[in-house]
Each structure stands twice: as structure tokens, then as C-alpha cells.
Amino acid sequence: MTRALTLHDWIVAGIAVVAGVGAGLLLRTLLRWLGERASRTRWNGDDVIVDALRTLVPCAAITAGLAAAAGALPLTPRTGRNVTMTLTALLILAATLTTARIVTGLVRALAQSRSGVAGSATIFVNITRVVVLAMGFLVVLQTLGISIAPLLTALGVGGLAVALALQDTLANLFAGVHILAAKTVQPGDYIQLSSGEEGYVVDINWRNTTVRQLSNNLVIIPNAKLASTNMTNYSRPEQELSIMVQAGVSYDSDLEQVERVTTEVVDEVMKDITGAVPDHEAAVRFHTFGDSRISFTVILGVGEFSDQYRIKHEFIKRLHQRYRAEGIRVPAPARTVTVHQGELPPPLGIPHQRDVSTPPRVR
């Protein structure tokens, strides 16, 4: 200290601390009010920003009050420098955590807005968080007077050993980044692998991809395997798709009537059933003269993959009811068996016996 502490010094320092705490509480209340207004907007980014600032701004106000209190006290230059350095480091740490929350929240909101309601690509969120926290940690060390050059050198040398030890993990990491960057698969897509796994992509993280099956089970697929396997994406290039239903009518049916009635049922289903495509143009295509029927294909439009089961269900019920009302017959498979009189074949498994003592007669 340059001089002895007086009551005036304590009063000024106390007023500075109280002012900082009061300003922090006031700013927190203001940010809570702003958060209520932000929740009414359609953009989720303002909610993330206000929620993150709700921690940083009061912390900055209190730190400013403490810095003012330290400046009012008769501290030695070394003590004042240490106090200032500590408060600065704490403020940088709080700013780093707040920045990480804001950036990761914006990345998550952007991923969800592009991937559907259920989609979440945490790989970008985790990478962003690690990068921001690492940069903030290095700045804090530099502020405290700790040289970061030896640390960076050690990280550079040790990074090679870590990379060799974590080859599979790094392969999955870069495969996940490649999948998302190429937009071959996005969270919310319905995919089917050549090995048989299929379902909705729930999340793509730094190591694996989580797929939720229609049975509500989760399938965990390594990113490297997903990037190297043959795959069908039913949500790309667009989510709407066409499905085909096979049907058939008897040979004595009026095919013009069959086409007209089937088209009317398709239009009715497309307009009434949730998940169908209302502006889908009905298509009926006759293609085969079968053994007992004339077969044809009906093409339906669905909004997304899982809607096809409900739409097929309703279409078949309504088509069957309409065919019965119109007198259109859907024949069951039939087989005609003709029995010729004569020598019966030998019992099954017993070869036919012939008397070899009498030679065959030659004409």
C-alpha cells in the first residue's frame, strides 16, 4: 500500500461494489424482459443470444464494480496489477463461455432449421464449442502472463501421437464432417443402407450417426461406415415421393370403368388423408395379362416415407369398397386340374417296375 486504509476508502470501495452488483441485477432484469420479447419472434437466434448475455452482462457489471473498488483502494502497483489481471482473466473467461454458448446455440438452431424438427447435428456444435473454449483458454493464459508458445509446441508434437492413437475416431470425425458438408445425409432424412438398416437420422455427432427405426429403436452407425456404404436417401432431393400399389381385375371387366373408378378413389385419398399430396395426379397403368386377371399399377403420392403405410391402408380399403359397389370383380388365383383316364402313375418314391423276362414287341 502507498498509504494506510481509511474509512473513506472502504466507503468508496463498498459503494463501487454495491453499484456493480446493483447494475448487474438491473441488467439481468432487463435481459429477462428482452428474453420474453425474443420468445415471441420466429427466429430462435435472438433467444440464444439473450439467454447467453443474461450471464455475461451481470458478471461484467460486477467485475467492473470490483475493478473500481480496487482502484479506490491504496494498493501497491504490484497488487493492483495482480488484481486487475485476475479480474480481466475472469471477465475473459466469462466472455469465452458466453461466446461458446451463443455460437453453439446459433449453430444448433441453424442445423435444426435446415434438418427438420427432430434433426440435430451435434458434430458442428461440439467442434465449435471446443474451438471457442480453446481460444478463450489461450487468451486467459496470455492475460495471466503465462507463455503459450511452449504449450503450442507441446500440442504440436503430441498431436501426432494422439492422431496415430485415435485413427478410427478421427476417421469417423472427418467422415461425419464430409457427410454433412456434402449434404448427402442430413438429420431428419429417412435412409436405408445396403446392409438393411433403415430409419430417420436423428443425430450426426463426432463419432457415429444415430438412426431411429419406425419401431422406435435406435441404430448406431459409425460415420466411416455410413460414408463408405451404398445407401438410399428417401428424403433427397425432395421429401415427397411416389409409391406403387399393385392390383388386378377379372378379364370380363370394363377397363375404362376400372381406370375411371380407380382414379376417383386415388383423388379422394389424396385430398382426405393426412400425409398425402393433394395435387398429385392419379396414374393407373395396366401392364400384364395374368393367369386369372389383368394386372395394373396405381401410383400414389405421399408427403414423406412413413406416410405411405397409412395411405396404402386407406387406399386399399376404399378401392375394395368402391369395386364392390361398382360390380368390379377382383378374382382370386385359380388353377384348373385335368385328370386323364389310364394307367395310374406308380406310388411316390417307387420306380415303375417292368417284366424284363418278356422282350418288348417290335412293330
pLDDT tens-digit map of 323-341: 999 999 988 776 667 776 7
Residue with cell 451404398: 230
Could you say which of 3.40.50.10860, 1.10.940.10, 2.30.30.60, 3.40.50.720 is the CATH number of the domain covering 150-237? 2.30.30.60
Task: State the pTM of this model.
Answer: 0.58
Q: Which of 48-57, 118-127, 310-319, 348-357 has the highest mean pLDDT?
A: 310-319
Output the average pLDDT for the chain: 79
Taking alpha carbons only, the member of 224, 227, 200, 207 closest to residue 304 is 200
The three cell numbers locating residue 104: 453453439
Residue 120 has pLDDT above 60, yes or no: no
pLDDT at 356 (0 to 100):
46
Domain 241-326 fold is: Alpha-Beta Plaits (3.30.70)
Average pLDDT over residues 156-178: 72
With a CB cutoff of 8 Å and minimum separation 6, the contacts of 338 are none
Alpha helix stretches (DSSP H) within 116-166: 122-143, 149-165
SS3 for 206-268 is: CCEEEEECCCCCEEEEEHHHHHHCCEEECCCCCCCEEEEEEEEECCCCCHHHHHHHHHHHHHH
Average pLDDT over residues 69-73: 73
Which comes out higher in pLDDT, residue 195 or 83? Answer: 195
Q: How many CB atoms lie within 10 A of CB 299?
A: 15
% of residues, the chain, pLDDT over 70: 81
Average pLDDT over residues 25-42: 78
Pairing of strands 198-204, 208-212: antiparallel
% of residues, the chain, pLDDT over 90: 22
The three cell numbers locating residue 337: 386340374
Give kind and range of the element (H or E) at residue 97: helix 77-115
Q: Domains of the chain: which residue ranges?
A: 7-146, 150-237, 241-326
Average pLDDT over residues 95-102: 80
The three cell numbers locating residue 318: 376404399
